Amino acid sequence: MRIETDVVHGGQHPDMHTGALSPPIYQTSTFAFRDADHGARLFKGDEEGYIYTRISNPTIDLLASKIAVLESAEAGLVSASGLAAVFNIIVSLVKSGERVVSDDTIYGGTYTLFKNVLPGLGIEVVFVDASDIDQVNAAIDGRTKLLFIETPANPTLKIIDIARCVEAMRSNGVPLCVDNTFATPYLQRPIEIGADIVVHSATKYFGGHGDIIGGVAVGNKDFIKKMWKIAKDIGASISPFNAWLILRGLKTLAVRMDRHCTNAQKVAEFLVDHDKIESVYYPGLKSHPGHDIARRQMRGFGGMIGFDVKGGKEAGKMVMNSVKLCTLAVSLGDVDTLIEHPGSMTHSGYTDDELMESGIKPGFVRISIGLEHADDIIDDLEQALKKI
């Protein structure tokens, strides 16, 4: 089926017992065993079934299999947050004494996990600019167990050529993990290009309404099983209700993404022509350095835009403090337009030098274009830019 159909029906069917079209929320911590031997068999893995929601739960499993369908993956595992999903992936693949190679432009929380937490576990992380494949190849050594990238990257919208990374990793025998949060499988399916693992903050476009935190990883069955064995002991499991809200959000993913994309294109074109704007970062603009790669590997360019205002940080602050319709808040992928300053907010774990190296200028502003009328978003930005 086409993805517009899969977001509605994929992995789902009416409830076997009641016919309920909307899936039941199995809001339970534990599941009763038929007898003591049944419980023992479930724990031993001799029989399939539910034990305890941290280990598995039907509502959460339904979400995992639905996202696997959307990403063309064999299986998936849902976690309490996107960051928990990233952590579960890392500790499933990489041990003390081994190395992760990561692109240098990634979500700030992932960056501080890699920079501050993983070294404490004996895992080395080498940051490179993965849009330059020579840098990636130079960083891969015999101890490297993973290449991690985001494309489009948070917050600069840098585009990385997934096919080139796949080619390089196949010759090195290193798995490639792509954070596909900004694109969603509606716009980009890295596993179809050859990536091994895809991770998402489901908090964003999957939920779509800014009311939950969740994460998911998809990949082949063996990897997901291996990760599940570790993840259940780490314990960052999502609540069944949050999983259900994500299932509900996914039903409208296709129509929402279409609107996010058309709105963002209009806003980006407005900003690019504005005399108070120095630069606009949106892969849908022909001037974006990753435009051609994005056209090849994406179906649309997404709802995220970055821009630098002439006058740097103070001018950028004035815009953020002057918007009336847009909300000054972190997160993204919501129905509401959200505006923020990565340097002091989502990416404040980067030092000033690291921000510059990743192309995040002091005045860089990130905007997650929502589902309001594009002209109302533009009018709001116009009145805010007038305040400078």
Q: Which is nearer to ligand PLP, 58 or 82 (CB)?
A: 82
DSSP state of 370: -
Q: What distance in Å separates the CA atoms of residue 184 and residue 330, rounded to the nearest whole number?
A: 19
Q: What distance in Å separates the CA atoms of residue 268 and residue 288, rounded to the nearest whole number?
A: 11
Q: Which is nearest to 308 in space by CA: 264, 257, 366?
A: 366
Nearest distance in Å: CB 82, ligand PLP: 2
Nearest distance in Å: CB 213, ligand PLP: 5
Q: Which is nearest to 175 in space by CA: 161, 191, 187?
A: 191
Nearest distance in Å: CB 372, ligand PLP: 21
Nearest distance in Å: CB 110, ligand PLP: 6
Q: Which is nearer to ligand PLP, 12 or 368 (CB)?
A: 368
Nearest distance in Å: CB 240, ligand PLP: 17
Q: What distance in Å separates the CA atoms of residue 280 and residue 306, rounded to the nearest whole number?
A: 6
Nearest distance in Å: CB 2, ligand PLP: 26
Nearest distance in Å: CB 153, ligand PLP: 8
Q: Which is nearer to ligand PLP, 24 or 109 (CB)?
A: 109
Site residues (vs ligand PLP, CB under 6 A): 81-83, 107, 109-110, 150, 154, 179, 181-182, 201, 203, 213, 215
DSSP 132-172: SHHHHHHH--TTEEEEEEESSPTTT-----HHHHHHHHHHH
Phi first, then psi: what are they for 21, rounded to 5°?
Answer: -75, -40
Q: Which is nearer to ligand PLP, 12 or 346 (CB)?
A: 346
Q: Which helix (H) or strand (E) holds 201?
A: strand 197-201
Task: List all residues 6 or more positions away from 195 whose beta carbon is below 8 Å from its beta carbon.
Answer: 162, 165, 166, 176, 177, 178
**Type of residue at 114:** F
Q: Which is nearer to ligand PLP, 234 or 272 (CB)?
A: 234
Nearest distance in Å: CB 85, ligand PLP: 8
Nearest distance in Å: CB 235, ligand PLP: 15
Task: List all residues 6 or more positions away from 357 whose beta carbon is below 8 Å from its beta carbon.
Answer: 104
Q: Exposed/middle/buried for 233, CB within 10 Å: 0-12, 13-18, 19+?
A: exposed
> In 10 A of CB 117, how many CB atoms?
13
Using Cβ positions, the residue closest to ligand PLP within the complex turns out to be 82
Token output for 199: 């991770």
Q: Which is nearer to ligand PLP, 57 or 154 (CB)?
A: 154
Q: Which is nearer to ligand PLP, 166 or 213 (CB)?
A: 213
Q: Which is nearer to ligand PLP, 42 or 86 (CB)?
A: 86
Nearest distance in Å: CB 151, ligand PLP: 10
Q: Which is nearer to ligand PLP, 215 or 302 (CB)?
A: 215
Q: Which is nearer to ligand PLP, 82 or 300 (CB)?
A: 82
Buried b (16+ CB within 10 A) or exposed e, 247-274: bebbbbbbebbebbbebbbbbbbbbbeb
Q: Which residue shows structure tokens 């990489």?
A: 94
Q: What distance in Å separates the CA atoms of residue 337 and residue 187, rounded to the nearest whole number?
A: 20
